[in-house]
Structure formats: structure tokens, C-alpha cells
Amino acid sequence: MVDYVGKVKQLIASHQFLQFTANWCPDCIYANSIWKRFGVQSKIHMFEVGPMSNNEREQYRKAFQEVTGSRNLPTVVVNGKFWATESELHRFEAKGTLKEELQKIGLL
């Protein structure tokens, strides 16, 4: 049996900036447009579940829920902790604080 929780913990421990993402997900495409706009996409490790089977993808979503508290696509993890989904990114944009928030976490 695959230890999905262990794999997620290892992924998070191995990357300062990690995005749980799917290539077909509109919210993920939005988040990726933010990274591209700020020129930081190469700093964020993308854990892509789009091409996985439905069962494997669901197992990873459950594992991300257990480890980070979020099963959303995208889920952004910074320094081992949940940081944002697209909802937070939208809120930062609406408040005009997106650049400042990215600076706070060391992405800029």
C-alpha cells in the first residue's frame, strides 16, 4: 500500500515553496498566472496531479488534507506550512497587498 501521507510530508519537507496543482484546474491556472506575472514560477515546485488516475489523485487530496488542512487545488505550502489557495490570492489582489504578501514569505 502506498504511503500517500508520507509522500506528501516528504514533498513539503523538500521544497520551500510547493503548489499542489492540476493542469486542468482553472484556479491553478489563475495561481500560475500570478507566479508568471511576478517572475517567480521557477521558485515554486509544482506537484502535478492532473495526469494521475482519479483514485491516485483522490488519495493525494486526502493526504494533503491530513497534512496541511487543505485538499483544494491549488494549495500553496510555504516553509512546511499551508499558506494559500486561490481564494487567498484573490483576496490579496483585491486588497492590493499581493506583492507585499509575496515579499513576506520570501518569494520576492
Long-range contacts of residues 27-33, Cβ cutoff 8 Å, at least 24 apart: 27/72, 27/73, 27/74, 27/85, 27/86, 28/73, 28/74, 28/86, 30/86, 30/89, 30/90, 31/74, 31/76, 31/86, 31/89
Mean pLDDT of 35-53: 98
pTM: 0.94
Question: What residue type is assigned to position 42 of the chain?
Answer: S
Q: What is the pLDDT of residues 78-96, one digit of tens each?
A: 999 999 999 999 999 999 9
Please tell me the predicted confidence (pLDDT) of residue 46.
Answer: 98
Spell out the domains of the chain, with CATH numbers in brackets: 4-104 (3.40.30.10)
Please tell me the predicted confidence (pLDDT) of residue 1.
Answer: 86
- Average model confidence (pLDDT) for the chain? 97
Please tell me the predicted confidence (pLDDT) of residue 29.
Answer: 98
Please tell me the predicted confidence (pLDDT) of residue 104.
Answer: 98
